[in-house]
């Protein structure tokens, strides 16, 4: 076989069904071979669309996302999507073409050092210079992307290697494994964890995206049922446990639920599982939970004590950790008495519910709540980045893992549309809902063609406030209402734009239309764009001001008409 034939056969043997990409000169031979294979290639309209679609596919299915780009600008157009996947720990395999081996380093046409460019934003990357190395590189890349903490891996292949022939049967199958000695393993720390849990009076679980990556939702639920310890989640941990279960408080952070942030600030023991303690959760890390004991569990040793100093760091997979701790608690017949703590949390929930002031105009919260009531619990919810993202995280309850897809670490506007079509391809029987803003939607608007061509039943709700809502909100609150370059004048008519692509378009202007238009959108079999003309002055509350502690929230509390700090 030649290199292209081997690569295609490798992907077939790994069970890959969908590949997202955009052809070009350096991968033209690979595309010629791939076109004759059973692999289903999805032609996006931009390489960034391809990598975000592969990302959404991976998040929604738990499988590897695969994308392809040509050399030079094709490869560099993957950079944002690779960074996005890297920060959110998503397993991706990106294959890029490169100029031929003899031309590397000569500034040849469409040459870019994609290995140097992506070194900080991939879990690992490779430049293949010898056809004999291709089998080992492919096997290792597949292994690395999915093992331990998942992440994106890039393989750069010179175009002459795609046509180079080799007897691949003469090479043994190789997987190079790199083992790192690990301190603070579960075996070393288990007794400390058990003793701290036994002594805690006000413990709290912080569940991050690592719980979902480890497929540990069932174990987390069992642990919570046995111990009665309340749970808060990060944005990436949303869906790790049903948000409608008793004891599940909600999301913490800059725009977290008031009770979740109060519980985080007041706990005497924090058990953080599969989270990296981003600044959106901690505020000033030097001031974060100074009086609390912190157990930090993560598969990646580099995350332990990086942002927050843990009293008990544990290098372990979330699933294994929870299983071992449950078994040990049951073996020792340890039960926790948390009555006063749970009463305090219940009091906060009654005093500080999420609320907004309804009016004659359409509120974004109303749209999200109406869609959540009508769509059902099996829908996959995707967001772009901005105010709509936080409103969705606050007001759309998620009941299971891989049903909430959002760009967490990088905060990538334009993620939503391609990620939603990737999720729909990976889950053809599921309803896929995208909540986006007029700013984010236009970042990768060209993927409407991909959506229409594949007739994917994605329901897109554009919460159109005619501005960059999150930045405008900061300008209002912290920059004396100087709205520098955040008002999006000249937006297109999104309904007519949808119709140009052959997609059904709807518009909702006032609350009275909401129920019937949402039902009409959800009942349509194909893709739908719903433009929702929402109040441009609506802000996301609560908000923790920059550098503030989680309990230092600004908001409009129940029964109040003005914005104040929580008391």
The b-or-e profile of 234-262 (16+ CB within 10 A means b, else e) is bbbbbbbbbbeeebbbbbbbbbbbbbbbb
Question: Residue 534: phi, psi to the nearest 5?
Answer: -95, 165
Name the catalytic one among 6, 20, 47, 415.
47
> Active site includes 366?
no
> Active site includes 515?
no
Name the catalytic one among 236, 443, 470, 553.
470
The SS3 call for residue 161 is helix
> Active site includes 478?
no
Alpha helices in 168-291 (DSSP H): 186-199, 209-213, 217-227, 258-266, 279-282
CA atoms within 13 A on the CB side of 263: 35
How far, in Å, CA of 55 to CA of 50, rounded? Answer: 9
How far from each other are the two terminal CA atoms of the chain, in whole angstroms? 70
> Active site includes 553?
no
Name the catalytic one among 20, 140, 159, 531.
159
Name the catalytic one among 40, 109, 558, 560.
109
Q: Which two tokens stand for residue 382?
A: 């995707």
Checking DSSP bridges between strand 564-565 and strand 554-555, what pairing results, if any?
Answer: antiparallel
**Length in residues, the chain:** 567
How far, in Å, CA of 425 to CA of 421, rounded? Answer: 6
> Active site includes 357?
no
Q: Which two tokens stand for residue 446?
A: 């060209």
* Tokens 């900080």 found at: 120
Strand segments (E) across 114-187 = 124-127, 152-158
Q: Which residues are catalytic?
A: 47, 109-110, 159, 470
């Amino acid at each position: 076989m030649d290199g292209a034939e081997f690569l295609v056969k490798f992907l077939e043997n790994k069970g890959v069904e969908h590949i997202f990409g955009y052809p070009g000169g350096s991968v033209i031979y690979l595309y010629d071979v791939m076109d004759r294979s059973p692999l289903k290639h999805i032609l996006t309209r931009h390489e960034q669309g391809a990598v975000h679609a592969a990302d959404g596919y991976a998040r929604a299915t738990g499988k590897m996302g695969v994308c392809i780009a040509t050399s030079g600008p094709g490869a560099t157009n993957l950079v944002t999507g690779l960074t996005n996947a890297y920060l959110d720990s998503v397993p991706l395999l990106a294959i890029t073409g490169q100029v031929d081996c003899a031309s590397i380093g000569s500034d040849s046409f469409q040459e870019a050092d994609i290995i140097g460019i992506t070194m900080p934003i991939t879990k690992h990357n490779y430049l293949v210079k010898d056809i004999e190395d291709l089998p080992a590189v492919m096997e290792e890349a597949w292994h690395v992307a999915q093992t331990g903490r998942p992440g994106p891996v890039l393989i750069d292949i010179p175009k002459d290697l795609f046509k180079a022939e080799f007897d691949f049967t003469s090479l043994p199958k190789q997987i190079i494994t790199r083992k790192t000695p690990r301190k603070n393993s579960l075996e070393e720390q288990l007794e400390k964890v058990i003793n701290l849990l036994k002594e805690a009076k006000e413990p709290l679980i912080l569940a991050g995206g690592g719980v979902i990556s480890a497929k540990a939702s069932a174990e987390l639920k069992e642990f919570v049922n046995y111990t009665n310890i309340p749970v808060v989640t990060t944005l990436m941990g949303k869906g790790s446990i049903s948000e409608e279960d008793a004891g599940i408080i909600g999301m913490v952070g800059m725009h977290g639920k008031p009770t979740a942030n109060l519980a985080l600030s007041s706990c005497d023991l924090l058990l953080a599982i599969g989270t990296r303690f981003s600044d959106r959760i901690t505020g000033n890390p030097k001031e974060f939970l100074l009086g609390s004991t912190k157990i930090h569990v993560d598969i990646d040793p580099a995350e332990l004590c990086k942002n927050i100093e843990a009293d008990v760091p544990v290098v372990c997979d979330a699933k294994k950790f929870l299983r071992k701790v449950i078994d040990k608690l049951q073996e020792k017949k340890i039960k926790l008495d948390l009555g006063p703590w749970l009463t305090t949390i219940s009091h906060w929930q009654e005093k500080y519910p999420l609320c907004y002031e309804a009016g004659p105009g359409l509120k974004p919260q109303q749209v999200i709540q109406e869609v959540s009531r009508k769509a059902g619990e099996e829908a996959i919810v995707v967001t772009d980045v901005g105010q709509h993202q936080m409103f969705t995280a606050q007001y759309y309850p998620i009941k299971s893992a891989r049903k909430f897809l959002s760009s967490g670490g990088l905060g990538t506007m334009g993620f939503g549309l391609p990620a939603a079509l990737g999720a729909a391809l990976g889950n053809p029987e599921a309803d896929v809902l995208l909540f986006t803003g007029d700013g984010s939607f236009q970042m990768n608007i060209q993927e409407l063609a991909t959506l229409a061509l594949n007739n994917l039943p994605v329901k897109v709700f554009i919460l159109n406030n005619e501005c960059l809502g999150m930045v405008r909100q900061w300008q209002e609150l912290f920059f004396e209402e100087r709205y520098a370059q955040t008002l999006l004048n000249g937006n297109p008519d999104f309904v007519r734009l949808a119709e140009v692509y052959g997609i059904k378009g709807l518009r909702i202007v006032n609350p009275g239309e909401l129920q019937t238009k949402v039902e009409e959108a959800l009942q349509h079999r194909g893709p739908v764009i719903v433009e929702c003309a929402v109040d441009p002055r609506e802000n996301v509350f609560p908000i923790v001001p920059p550098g503030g502690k989680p309990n230092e929230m600004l908001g409009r509390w129940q029964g109040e008409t003005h914005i104040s700090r929580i008391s």
